[in-house]
Structure 1
Amino acid sequence: MAAIQKIRSHGTILMIILGGALLLFIVSSVITNFNIFSNANEVGSVNGKSLDAQTYQRRVEILSEELKTRNTMQSGKETALSDQEMSTVRNYVWQEFSTSQVIKKEAGKAGLSVSDEELDDVLRTGQAQCIQLFWPLVAQFGLGDQYNFQALKQFIGEKDKNMQQIAQSGNADAMNKYAMAIEAWDLVEKDFLPNEILLQKLNTLMSMSVVSDPISAKYDAARLSDAIDAQIVAIPASTIDDAKIQVSEAELQAAYDELKEMFYQNDETRDVKIIDVNVVPSPQDMASLKKDMEGSAQQLATATDINNVIGTASTIQYTNMPLTKAFFQSEVPDVAQRLDSGATGSVVAPYISKERDGSDVYTTFKVVAKEELPDSILYSVIVPRGKDLDSQKKSADSIYKAIAGGADWAALSKKYNQQGAKSDSIWMTSKMYERFGMSAEEVKINTTLNTTPAGEFTKIEGDGGDMIVKILDRKAMQTKYNVAIYRRNVEFSDKTSDTEQSKLNEFLAKNQSIDAIVKNAPKSGYKVQDYDALSKSGVVNLVAGIGNARDVATWIFDDAEAGEVSKVYEVGSKNDHLVLAMVTGVNKKGYLPIDNPGVRKQLTAYVKQQKKVQQLAKNYGKMSFEQASAVAGAVTDTIANVNAFAIYQGGVMAQKVGTPEVKLAAAICKTAVSKTAVVEGTGALYFVKVLTKKTTKHTDAFAQLIGANIAQSMLVGGQQGGSPLLTALIEKTKMDNNLYKFF
């Protein structure tokens, strides 16, 4: 108890992901564009509890930093998060908030709470998803890869002293990282860890309330003990042309009555149509870029000053020293695979490749030099002090001459309070310093350390002072490459962007109604995409997919009425999308009517699929297994280790059909070995032949346990899966979701 109180008194740390039913998202990087907070103060509310914009922003920043830290620790380099990762972060913060509010309310009704002793126990053991998942955020400050409660106590206890030392160093980035780690832990202890424990208690309570009657349990145990292998012949519904199937209004109404609950919506939605134009480089843009790349390649071949060629146009700045092939493989794999294809001094002709984010880049490079150099260097260094730069350099020169004259290195090192003994020296690996765009001074220092033979010493002169280094050992000799890379993003020009925008605006001027736009879009080369019954949460995914499109979402839900057409929006993470939005309908909370376009589309597809399978059954249902396998379009597959639990899990799937089938799972379970069955499935007509069936017998007690586990899993789900109970509670919770304004 004392330990938990001491940690609580000092501040903050790591973030938590709720266990059990919550989706796990690992996310990172700091938000840089949240000017919208001046226009909206609330991201949303759940059961009357609001999530304000400032809190939301800070939590996104913390979660972003966590993933950024984790990525850095795993890859050894710091990289920015992708648009998709940032979208995941923003989505997760809202999901975590909304789910936690539901858990708190339901746990309160059940009289469940979390005591300080329970928190203390979890903190001591570290047995929580949040602690294990977000430990890297504090581990980066020397606490070790594995969770260590004592190290954590010291980290929190010394936070004021450490922050003062960081502040004195003037390193603003380090200060922000440290403060963020402290704040994150406070969120874990005060909010997310209690929620995780509450969810576990709620699931446990519900599980213990479930019982299974002995007869059903024994039957379930027998079926779940089966391991059945079956061969399948499937005649897919897709073998029948859609156009040949007619659907009547009576059939649609019957399907609507059957599936009506699917069309219930908790919140108001919009029927939306979108034209999304992806702006790409024109042939003229590509020709201009190609000319620049070819000219730069020629200059690289003859230039005496590489930096004059690279300049600021290249997205990769030149480091004038040899680097390991592993570094190139990590940073520019396309360059790495071409390093050994040319001799020293050769220039690789310009080529187009893809970055990790999928964007195209144009690259040429010159292999300036190849050298055999160590990957690991053990060295000792003396950096004398001085009242000013001149006196420091004079002192360094004096020490250097003394060592050259035979003075003892260890003695001088001790005198100047520096590292000296071999056991006190420094190992440096290539991974510790390699990067593009090193300054001239960084290059000088690292080149000297790489090229000085073991046992020798030298003086390195720098703008900020001089140092004397002694190389004690060199290991892992390998080929390193001095490479000058000229790389340009394959981008469209302003002229191309203006042309595409003018074309779309001209199209809009000529087609001002939704009907006219839909009718004439294909003639002008535009595709209209339908988003029926688009919810506020659904529009978040739309915005995230396009990138930087919150203005479109805000227009759809805050400004537009049914029948209205938006202006042309220039959006996308690189302003590479032009979006025209149309709202065709506004759907109030409740059941969507049968005449809703989206509903009719789903019902029509459902009825057609049913009628196709019925037609297949009429045509081929009386065939033998062998005869069915010879039908045009039929596919065969083998499904192994099937038992009755597959029915509870949504069925089994023939991989070549791709549709989970509950009826197929049931037919496999009840068909005897060597016997066959015909099944009218959802996606195909199936012919089943059971090959083998192995059964393990269990005691009545074990059967009772299996029965209870089945019932429990249907109610609360697995430890890592979604909880039907929690899902149902969330669906019945009053929420106001404005997340679309914050993407």
Structure 2
Amino acid sequence: MAAIGKIREQSTLLLIVIGGAMVAFVLGDIFSNRGGSGQGDQYVGEVFGEEINLVEYEKRVEAEKQSMASIGQGAASSQDQQIRNQVWNDMVQEKVMYTEMNKIGLRLGQDEFDDIRFGENVREDFMGNQNFQDPQTGQFDPKLVQNYFSVIQTQYPLFYEAQVNRIVNERLYEKYNALVKNGAFVNVLEAKDEYYRQEQQVNFNYVGREYANIADSTVAISDDELRAYYNEHKEEDRFDRDASANIKFVAFDVQPTEEDKVAIKEELSGLKNDFSKAKSDSLFVLKFSSSRNANQIDLKGADNPDLQGMIDNAENGDVIGPFQMGEKFAIAKIKNKGTEERASARHILLSNQSEADMKVLMARADSIKKVIQKNDNFEEMVTKFSEDPGSIQNGGKYEDFDRKMMVAEFTEAAFDKPVGSINIVETTYGVHIVEPLEHNDVNVVKALVVDEPIIPSNRTFNEAYDEANTFSIDAKDAAGLVKLAEEKGFKVEEGNKVTTQARTIPGIAGSVEAVRWAHNVDKTNVGQVSQPFEFDRKIVVVGLDKRTSSGLASFEDAKEDIKPDAIREKKIEIFKAEMKDKSLEDLKAEFNLEIKNAVNVSEKRPSLPGGANEGYIVGYALSMKEGDLSQPLEGNRGVYVVKLNSKTEVEPREDYTTYRDELLQNKQNGVKTYTIGVYRALKDFAKVKDERSRSF
């Protein structure tokens, strides 16, 4: 979640964006039944066979833009496609999820909506938001949330609707996903099967000829063999192709000139006097800064000697600059030069997402703490037990943070406990084992910044556009584009099999307009060259080489894609013929192979020495009798011959609870979040079609 400031101007709470990027709102009563769609003449896609029409889509796009504009965040032209894609994704998600939720009558009432904002079951992103914490105690204050929603509802109603819609949707999706998760079930037969998969083990000797040991280039395969492979497999889903286009294009990079950079710095210099006299620094920043970040930042000049010199000579209230900050020039008003407490700590997180019972987590944390205190092996315990992906690779460390960065309980342990002590604390994320590593008072400079991106001027951009336009006219057609580019020394890029679902052409961010141009069958012909497209700092001229309709891929279109698979099948045939009816010792001598031994492998753990995961080979071995020698077997990595040494016969049990619980946990983890579990499955079932390229 993006950092959110606590700036107030004349008792008005500065608008904040909760939880990152905003999403569009649904017109109408946000608590009512949704998911339906009106019919329209202009088709841009469908979900569950129900069309999404252009009018509906454009209303949502415009509503999102107005919502952003209402709080002073008007979308730049470069953001237009980002907004359109976000709105499309939101519409698809709503139609998919509400179709299912309406079937079971899932709703969110006003009482529950209030409860998750400022009641007894407040959302984590509110609880952990510093803007909603009492500045004296650091504790969550529900009155601040109420005040926030009251302000935006009365003063910024469009933004309010967008925020409320997002919260309502997320809550309903969470409830639906919880129903699915809690409905997961494992029966006795499944548990019994899992018991045998884990406990029935085999030991066998084997040799394997890996496919990778013979280069594909050495395997001769004819067109007739490729065609036979195609005919045998063409009913598979992988041969069902979306419409695609092959393009070639030239990209003209537009970079700011030195003259452009001087002009930007002069513009910022012209603001310094007004910034120093501003009655409200935060409003000044919101009005003039491109980033609109009205939060004070730590101004650091360690990597910028010019900036460091300005900082050293400045007093509180001075405005310094211009100076460069990454891809921007900036001026800064010094708000506070002083010292600040900083800490470094490492921790192990036992997440309440994988174990909801806090007593279990606390007991587990206590056991881990004792091991650490005995063996001094904190990093080892991090690797084994921590569930914080943000710190595992760093030994659990978070370094040089202040008292406002972490949740209150973690902060207390990191700052107020002795360095080297091992502490257990409970937070909204679960249970943490925290070891403070360092406490420091560091020099800090707090400042408010007005910045401007270092971008080409209109004049520079127009000059580049004129060059690209002349190139487009002179090229005349797609073949001419390549020839002319070679003459002028321009690099020609390719985009092969660019589908209608693609949002970019290779290497060009935000270039969906070029994709739509290539797929516009009414206006764009094969061989045609486009007018110049403007994508951020690139101007692109595109030539259309080929267009392929959707449906079954032809043999010629699929030929190169299937070649590796057809070669693999031929290798299998060759290997099997050469290895048939031969002992392990004969195969070792003839093909210079190593006889290896697989020990205590099972269907659950089918990994052979060297890391090959060969479930079929292990499963086949389980069906053999001791002393039997197999015929050549096709595996994932190669062709194998197996000789069974022994297998562990397991007896039926009366109780399979342990295996049932393990399977149940795996099933529940599979739907832990709707975005990677339930929603993905429902979206596939909904057969979503994105045909926006037909209308743009």
Q: TM-score, normalised by structure 2?
A: 0.52
Whether 2:60 is the aligned partner of 1:55: answer yes
Q: Conserved in 1, the CA contact under 8 Å of 2:478 and 2:544?
A: no
Partner of 1:701: 656
Q: For 1:275, give the aligned amino acid.
A: K
- Cα offset, 1:574, TM superposition: 1.1
Partner of 2:147: 155
Partner of 2:552: 592
Question: How far, CA to CA, are the matches of 1:672 and 1:572 in structure 2?
Answer: 66
Report the structure, 1 or 2, having the larger helix content: 1
Question: How far, CA to CA, are the matches of 1:229 and 1:742 in structure 2?
Answer: 62
Question: How far, CA to CA, are the matches of 1:229 and 1:88 in structure 2?
Answer: 56
Q: 1:219 to 1:594 in 2, by over 3 A?
A: same
- Cα offset, 1:139, TM superposition: 5.8
Q: Which has the larger radius of gyration?
A: 1
Q: 1:54 to 1:115 in 2, by over 3 A?
A: closer
Whether 2:528 is the aligned partner of 1:565: answer yes
Partner of 2:95: 101
Write the deviation string for residues 182-217 of structure 1: whole angstroms up to 9, x where unpaired: 334421454442243234325545x35xx6453x53
1:279 maps to which of 252, 256, 275: 252
1:158-173 equivalences under 5 Å are: 159=150
Question: How far, CA to CA, are the matches of 1:196 and 1:220 in structure 2?
Answer: 30
Q: 1:82 to 1:610 in 2, by over 3 A?
A: farther
Question: How far, CA to CA, are the matches of 1:338 and 1:228 in structure 2?
Answer: 64
Question: How far, CA to CA, are the matches of 2:554 and 2:489 in structure 1?
Answer: 31
Q: For 1:159, give the aligned amino acid.
A: S
1:607 maps to which of 543, 566, 575: 566
Partner of 2:380: none
1:113-124 equivalences under 5 Å are: 113-114=106-107, 116=109
- Cα offset, 1:159, TM superposition: 1.1
Q: 1:309 to 1:150 in 2, by over 3 A?
A: closer
1:188-199 equivalences under 5 Å are: 188=166, 190-199=168-177
Partner of 2:215: 240
Q: 1:102 to 1:592 in 2, by over 3 A?
A: same
**3-state SS of 2:538 partner:** coil
Partner of 1:578: 541
Q: 1:512 to 1:134 in 2, by over 3 A?
A: farther
Question: How far, CA to CA, are the matches of 2:250 and 2:490 in structure 1?
Answer: 12
Partner of 2:191: 217
- Cα offset, 1:556, TM superposition: 1.2
Q: For 2:97, give the aligned amino acid.
A: I
Write the deviation string for residues 468-511 of structure 1: whole angstroms up to 9, x where unpaired: xxxxxxx95749899xx999779998666655664565444483
Unaligned runs of 5+ in 2: 1-14, 25-40, 277-296, 318-327, 340-439
Question: How far, CA to CA, are the matches of 1:81 and 1:693 in structure 2?
Answer: 67
2:164 maps to which of 176, 186, 206: 186
Q: Conserved in 2, the CA contact under 8 Å of 1:30 and 1:60?
A: no
Q: For 2:107, give the aligned amino acid.
A: V
Q: Conserved in 2, the CA contact under 8 Å of 1:553 and 1:740?
A: yes
Question: How far, CA to CA, are the matches of 1:544 and 1:617 in structure 2?
Answer: 44
Whether 2:161 is the aligned partner of 1:201: answer no
Q: TM-score, normalised by structure 1?
A: 0.50
- Cα offset, 1:273, TM superposition: 0.5
Partner of 1:408: none
Whether 2:481 is the aligned partner of 1:529: answer no
Question: How far, CA to CA, are the matches of 2:538 and 2:532 in structure 1?
Answer: 10
Q: 1:338 to 1:261 in 2, by over 3 A?
A: same
Q: 1:193 to 1:493 in 2, by over 3 A?
A: closer
Whether 2:50 is the aligned partner of 1:46: answer no
Q: 1:311 to 1:113 in 2, by over 3 A?
A: closer
Q: Conserved in 2, the CA contact under 8 Å of 1:212 and 1:708?
A: no
Partner of 1:261: 236
Question: How far, CA to CA, are the matches of 2:674 and 2:601 in structure 1?
Answer: 21
Q: Conserved in 1, the CA contact under 8 Å of 2:201 and 2:602?
A: yes
**3-state SS of 2:107 partner:** coil
- Cα offset, 1:247, TM superposition: 3.9
Aligned length: 518
Q: Conserved in 2, the CA contact under 8 Å of 1:372 and 1:477?
A: no
Q: Conserved in 2, the CA contact under 8 Å of 1:273 and 1:582?
A: yes
Write the deviation string for residues 298-340 of structure 1: whole angstroms up to 9, x where unpaired: xxxxxxxxx99954599x99999xxxxxxxxx9999x73464x
Q: For 2:59, give the aligned amino acid.
A: Q
Q: For 2:555, give the aligned amino acid.
A: D
1:462-541 equivalences under 5 Å are: 476=441, 478=443, 498-499=466-467, 502-503=470-471, 505-509=473-477, 511=479, 526-531=492-497, 534=499, 536=500, 538-541=501-504
Q: For 1:526, give the aligned amino acid.
A: V
Q: Conserved in 2, the CA contact under 8 Å of 1:14 and 1:188?
A: no
- Cα offset, 1:607, TM superposition: 0.9
Q: 1:552 to 1:704 in 2, by over 3 A?
A: closer
Q: For 2:683, give the aligned amino acid.
A: I
Question: How far, CA to CA, are the matches of 1:148 and 1:652 in structure 2?
Answer: 53
1:356-371 equivalences under 5 Å are: 365=306, 368=309, 371=312
Write the deviation string for residues 114-134 of structure 1: whole angstroms up to 9, x where unpaired: 363766766677869xx4357
- Cα offset, 1:220, TM superposition: 1.6
Q: 1:264 to 1:562 in 2, by over 3 A?
A: farther
Q: 1:584 to 1:510 in 2, by over 3 A?
A: closer
1:290-301 equivalences under 5 Å are: none
- Cα offset, 1:586, TM superposition: 1.8
1:244-393 equivalences under 5 Å are: 244-249=219-224, 251-258=226-233, 260-263=235-238, 269-280=242-253, 311=266, 336-337=302-303, 339=305, 365=306, 368=309, 371=312
Question: How far, CA to CA, are the matches of 1:366 and 1:232 in structure 2?
Answer: 66
Question: How far, CA to CA, are the matches of 1:707 and 1:664 in structure 2?
Answer: 25
**3-state SS of 1:530 partner:** strand
- Cα offset, 1:592, TM superposition: 0.8
Question: How far, CA to CA, are the matches of 1:90 and 1:691 in structure 2?
Answer: 62
- Cα offset, 1:90, TM superposition: 5.1
- Cα offset, 1:578, TM superposition: 3.0
Q: 1:740 to 1:446 in 2, by over 3 A?
A: farther
Q: Conserved in 2, the CA contact under 8 Å of 1:274 and 1:530?
A: yes
1:71-150 equivalences under 5 Å are: 91-109=85-103, 111-114=104-107, 116=109, 131-133=123-125, 140=131, 150=142
Question: How far, CA to CA, are the matches of 1:113 and 1:653 in structure 2?
Answer: 51
Seq. identity, %: 12
Partner of 1:411: none
- Cα offset, 1:524, TM superposition: 8.3
**3-state SS of 1:559 partner:** coil
**3-state SS of 1:223 partner:** helix
Question: How far, CA to CA, are the matches of 2:159 and 2:635 in structure 1?
Answer: 53
Question: How far, CA to CA, are the matches of 1:694 and 1:124 in structure 2?
Answer: 58
Question: How far, CA to CA, are the matches of 1:672 and 1:147 in structure 2?
Answer: 67
Partner of 2:3: none
Q: Conserved in 1, the CA contact under 8 Å of 2:504 and 2:510?
A: no
1:417-456 equivalences under 5 Å are: 437-438=330-331, 442=333
Partner of 1:393: none
- Cα offset, 1:367, TM superposition: 6.2
